[in-house]
Amino acid sequence: MADAHGAAAPHALPADLQHQFESLDQQQDAASFGMWVFIVTEILFFGGLFLAYTIYRWQFGAGFARGSVEMDIVAGTANTAILIGSSLTMAMAVHSAAKGKRRALLLFLALTIALGGAFLGVKAIEYTDHIRHHLLPGPGFRHAGPDARAVEMYFTLYFTMTGLHALHMIVGIGILSTLFVMAWRGRFTAEYHNPVEISGLYWHFVDIVWIFLFPLLYLIGRHAR
């Protein structure tokens, strides 16, 4: 990727330095800064949905409570724990990469991918369960009792927000798999492991989105029951 420079430099430039940067330090600094700016765009991307959630929950409080009660709280809490676990393994992966321990890096990357897969598995089970109970919004939506319209709005937001989050999980697992392959080939060293780091930032962000989705969608009106 880095093309050799014509002029003989007093010290050989590190192989991973891209030509437009002066030093590896500047390159990694820019990459991390760039990822944080991307995370800001993600915050505002999810922000649109959180705004719709806030407005409609303010208008249809009762309906949202009735919808939230339909959720399987055990699955939700378990999923939150799974994702927090995957954040830990991701942080350990970055930690091992920084220490140059390749085997530990591979182990933790694999663990993170596995936990991510588990999360998606639980979501899949929940989704099929809701669909079976005719809770998928749209023409097929059926909900006994009052406030059917508000409950449908709750499920519209539930499926859109958790669906978008799941999509980000799938992309995250794709990134971690490529990292796994690159790490397997020994691409990362103690000096150059920036891709692992910025993928970690992305993964932790997706975990934080779930940390907010869980209480907002699963825990409303539990006491009402």
Q: Are 4 and 14 in contact (CB under 8 A)?
A: no
28 vs 162, beta carbon nearer other proteins: 28
CA angle at residue 187 from 196 to 3, to 5 degrees?
Answer: 105
Beta carbons of 73 and 80 less than 8 angstroms apart = no
- Of 116, 172, 195, 200, the residue at the interface with other proteins (CB under 8 A) is 200
CB atoms within 10 A of CB 11: 5
The alpha carbon of 200 is separated from its chain's Cα centroid by a whole number of angstroms, namely: 10
Site membership for other proteins, residue 185 (CB under 8 A): no
Which of these segments, 81-89, 112-120, 127-135, 173-181, binds other proteins (CB under 8 A)? 81-89
Q: Segment near other proteins (CB under 8 A), from 87-95, 114-122, 126-134, 169-177? A: 87-95
Q: Is 14 near other proteins (CB under 8 A)?
A: no
Query: Between residue 126 and residue 165, which ones bind other proteins under the rule CB under 8 A?
Result: 137-139, 146-147, 149-150, 152-153, 156, 160, 164
Interaction of residue 47 with other proteins, rule CB under 8 A: yes
Residues 102-131 that bind other proteins (CB under 8 A): none
Residue from 2, 15, 84, 124 touching other proteins (CB under 8 A): that is 84
DSSP letters for 73-136: HHHHHHHHHHHHHHHHHHHHHHHHHHHT-HHHHHHHHHHHHHHHHHHHHHHHHHHHHHHHTT-S
Listed ranges 109-117, 123-131, 179-187, 204-212: which one lies at the site for other proteins (CB under 8 A): 204-212
CB of 180 to other proteins, least distance (A): 19
